[in-house]
Structure 1
């Protein structure tokens, strides 16, 4: 019987399936952090239960951590408390913790892949919606709630309804200045922030297959932003080459055995998807959001769509979003001054992202009206950036390379955007107050963010790429 990739992995992990009930799904790897785990550990404690399989649980501190002076006590009381509780809980229950000061510390969705914890064919969960990132390796990975975190800690299983499947194909060659972030923002702008609800999405097509692993992670990371349960990409030689030799990846004979299995992880040619969508890479230009959900995005040269053009049921919320952002119908965004540029988050904080930004800003200077934060996704990314001299390039441009953490992706730590200020951000969400109370967020790729950093305004990066004398 022909199967999709999702069905192959799902069926291989079903412990029990019964008509009319959710499947009992076995979870290979459980990632935890300081925000959604304290209540789960408390639940175990009250019930007198251990963590069933602590070696399949990996913890790190990321959401609440500062990105400056991490060697000092955390200033914010709640943040300090949550990080301290993670340390206490992991010690008590025997869970490996990559906390502040550990060479493997970082954003949970960055350290999993770079350490070789994330592997094809796995089921992976975390109390964080952007767990879909790990699907880039051909894994079923999705976010769970705190009560489910407790379930997995106690049983290594979850009750889950098998999702519907959607295939999204992107074929063709990407235009200059267009990156993975632009691809996913374009898709979401076309199908809306709810267009993937109820589905697990497989991304396919020549444009997707041409992407690096880090770019694929960016695509899968934002699957949740179209309402999907998760997203994944079939593993291939690019995947295998990335995984090989990483710290916790299989070695020797175990590698050969794993590789043979991974090569079977693809959707059969005649597999049936519940929905199939196709896009042409040539239609995508650098993207930017203008509203308060990731579906409110457009090509950077376009004008904001009119409120009257929206469905009647959405016009009130649409206008409310524009009012919050300080924008108007049919307004262009090119040339609009910005206040902050944030390059980081689990979407775009990997070494490839930092390299691209450094290459673009080399020899250039930050605009005087902009504050730029560059936040690596992990201590390993930070270390590599310093070894490659990227920190010196950033310093010369007037940028600051901070320490690893979720940072200004969300207002849960010290890195908040002030009220009313505009932030060009490489993160994944532009909700009201996401980066701080009344902060205004515009989502873009790292390359477009770098262009805004040096010009001080929303800029079509292609106008700079096309002028070698400005490079």
Structure 2
């Protein structure tokens, strides 16, 4: 791939001075006027498309101080900076990019970003003319003669450097935040007197604490209101895009990212939430991170992480009627265990995943973490591109064609190496229900609850006994017919338009059983609007469901939607841990959205194929 010529570089720089929205990042905007050549502007679209993909090179050169006068920090500045780093041990191994790091000198090693990875403006205006260089291309020095998996390609193209402890300092292409795990991180930035390095790469929404039965502020819960106010203040102060409820784009963070086109193939994504692996459905490498890592990403746009192995999970054949993506991932977790994916990234493939919609792929990738995997992804294909086309933050025009070409190249190569391969037959996957206190404790809806006496190990026996005691179930009893108190349809696992569309087809004309509280909670305001336009919300209301505002709701109950006492919930969410849905003794049964609807109407766990006359 040719490099930008000197003439192209200068003309492009002049063009950007007259069109600020096309600048790649704030660093360019701070170039000294003495370095800016006043040439007649040349249309960005007239530059050769291959050369346009080298914009990251130009940005990297400027970041390293080319054509700038190099200034050494004063002793006072140096001492102050080192004090900041030494105050926080974590920051000693993560390179803090304060303003001095843009200049090579003996005090501060520069963070040499890969040549084709430069911070890009992700605003809709900029993406109309600029391809996502870091999402679509790899470093020129990558060895392309070897077949590689998508994970290897993305990891290598985003590697900043290897750390002494064996971890990798990884550039994070997109950072998503919400109100629960970000306040402490912003507080640490203030304490360290640091700014968000690349605010255009961070997007915020509020989801966990928002009441789904109340839209207007102030909220009845003062803590929820305080967290909302804190996120609003932090985003305004640090220049972060915030999709709040007034924007009409608010929702669960893992639904908002994809529907806005922020989630894209070939990049790295981080979020302070366990289910960030959802975004892997697009061919991204997406990590859930903790508060200190959120601070690291905000301050440096990088994070430290150890290497992962890659397991390929193939599901071939054809799913039977009444079996959904939720059943697929519950079956995988049941088979491999909640610790089976420890140290792995899961690559999902095979005929079943090839036929899945993007929303179905998101459901599977969402629960990769429940199987112990740090990452779960599907290779991008035409289904991916069709979903992303014309989204607000997706590339537009010629940039779209360039982006798609790069996204196709990021997919795993035929013959690439996997550390492990597991095969499943689609025909063997039944409608699945959890019976215990972790997602691997699952059985087919027609099976009986396990007997600890038949356990194959001491640990398995103890685990079954603990689950039976908490759930107040009896061994060998059928799961079908178990009475429920609450039915919850929503969450980042199953709160998308297609989930509500599928259920609405079957519940029309039916009613929720007496004594059952049924909640339908759209995953975002856009999903709610789409449902309203299609009349889906009214179908749910007519069936006896409470139709709520967008939010996480009863998935983890950091809001008023909670179980009471030892109530049993049929839930389309992702975790069935002890006390997960708000009550210390509450009991959760995970299942697909249609199975939740069947339980709501029957008043007990039921086979949706029987309740709704779905051919088996």
Mark yes or no: TM-score above 0.5.
Answer: yes
Q: Tell me the residue number matched to 2:601.
A: 454
Structure 1 unaligned regions, length at least 5:
none
- Aligned counterparts of 2:466 and 2:166: Cα–Cα separation in 1: 40
- Aligned counterparts of 2:589 and 2:241: Cα–Cα separation in 1: 36
Shift of 1:221: 0.1
Shift of 1:185: 0.2
- Aligned counterparts of 1:247 and 1:83: Cα–Cα separation in 2: 25
Contact 2:495–2:522 (Cα < 8 Å) also in 1: yes
Q: Tell me the residue number matched to 1:203.
A: 348
Q: Tell me the residue number matched to 1:244.
A: 389
- Aligned counterparts of 1:22 and 1:95: Cα–Cα separation in 2: 28
Q: Tell me the residue number matched to 1:292.
A: 437
1:383 aligns with 2:512: no
Corresponding residue SS for 1:328? coil
- Aligned counterparts of 2:560 and 2:328: Cα–Cα separation in 1: 31
User: Among residues 288, 302, 306, which one is paired with 1:161 in the alignment?
Assistant: 306
1:406 aligns with 2:588: no
- Aligned counterparts of 2:164 and 2:550: Cα–Cα separation in 1: 46
Corresponding residue SS for 1:430? coil
Q: Tell me the residue number matched to 2:506.
A: 360
Contact 2:450–2:464 (Cα < 8 Å) also in 1: no
1:340 aligns with 2:486: yes
Contact 1:177–1:465 (Cα < 8 Å) also in 2: no
| Structural mapping, 1:10-25, within 5 Å | 10-17=155-162, 21-25=166-170
1:306 aligns with 2:451: yes
- Aligned counterparts of 1:344 and 1:168: Cα–Cα separation in 2: 26
Shift of 1:220: 0.1
- Aligned counterparts of 1:467 and 1:133: Cα–Cα separation in 2: 29
Contact 1:112–1:118 (Cα < 8 Å) also in 2: yes
Corresponding residue SS for 2:356? coil
- Aligned counterparts of 2:164 and 2:227: Cα–Cα separation in 1: 41
Shift of 1:105: 0.4
- Aligned counterparts of 1:377 and 1:136: Cα–Cα separation in 2: 17
1:185 aligns with 2:330: yes
Matched residues, number: 468
Q: Tell me the residue number matched to 1:436.
A: 582
Structure with the greater alpha carbon radius of gyration: 2
Per-residue deviation, residues 310-366 of structure 1 (Å, max 9, x unmatched): 320232232111111111111101112111000000000000001111111011111
Shift of 1:187: 0.4
- Aligned counterparts of 1:49 and 1:166: Cα–Cα separation in 2: 39
Corresponding residue SS for 2:423? strand
- Aligned counterparts of 2:403 and 2:225: Cα–Cα separation in 1: 40
Contact 2:273–2:288 (Cα < 8 Å) also in 1: yes
1:130 aligns with 2:275: yes
Q: Tell me the residue number matched to 1:92.
A: 237
Q: Tell me the residue number matched to 2:285.
A: 140
TM score, norm. by length of structure 2: 0.75
Give every structure 1 segment of 4 or more consecutive aligned residues whose post-TM-superposition deviation is greater than 6 Å.
none
Contact 2:433–2:590 (Cα < 8 Å) also in 1: yes
Shift of 1:72: 3.2
Shift of 1:383: 0.5
Corresponding residue SS for 2:493? coil
- Aligned counterparts of 1:192 and 1:300: Cα–Cα separation in 2: 19
| Structural mapping, 1:250-265, within 5 Å | 250-265=395-410
Q: Tell me the residue number matched to 1:102.
A: 247
TM score, norm. by length of structure 1: 0.98
User: Among residues 552, 567, 571, which one is paired with 1:425 in the alignment?
Assistant: 571
- Aligned counterparts of 1:143 and 1:43: Cα–Cα separation in 2: 19
- Aligned counterparts of 1:296 and 1:317: Cα–Cα separation in 2: 9
Shift of 1:19: 6.7
Per-residue deviation, residues 146-195 of structure 1 (Å, max 9, x unmatched): 00000000000011112111111100000110000000000000111111
Q: Tell me the residue number matched to 2:217.
A: 72
1:232 aligns with 2:377: yes
| Structural mapping, 1:34-49, within 5 Å | 34-49=179-194
Structure 2 unaligned regions, length at least 5:
1-145
- Aligned counterparts of 1:79 and 1:314: Cα–Cα separation in 2: 40
- Aligned counterparts of 1:399 and 1:20: Cα–Cα separation in 2: 53
- Aligned counterparts of 2:244 and 2:576: Cα–Cα separation in 1: 28
Corresponding residue SS for 1:418? coil
